[in-house]
Amino acid sequence: MTDVAFIAAAYGAAVVGLVGYAVSLVQRDRQARARSAAIEHARDRIVEPVVPADAMPAEEGRLRAIER
């Protein structure tokens, strides 16, 4: 192996490692944010159920019970 090849290998390995890690960080960050948003959304739906405008009184009562 020539000197250039060794240098390329060393620098290449380091760059691949560092850039690869940074990219994985960005990906994991995106996944975590998506998951967090999904959890929040699901939680909000349970706390505040969507009541249709033309809901019948019986259904409304049942929905209120769930809320409580």
Using CB under 8 A, list all residues that contact another protein: 1, 3-4, 6-7, 9-11, 13-14, 17-18, 21-22, 25-26, 28-29, 32-33, 35-36, 39-40, 42-43, 46
- In three-state secondary structure terms, 55 is coil
Residue 43 phi, psi (nearest 5): -65, -45
How far apart are CB 60 and another protein at their closest, in Å? 24
Closer of 45 and 60 to another protein (Cβ): 45
Closer of 33 and 64 to another protein (Cβ): 33
Per DSSP, helices labelled H in 1-68 are 3-47, 57-67
d(CA 38, CA 44): 10
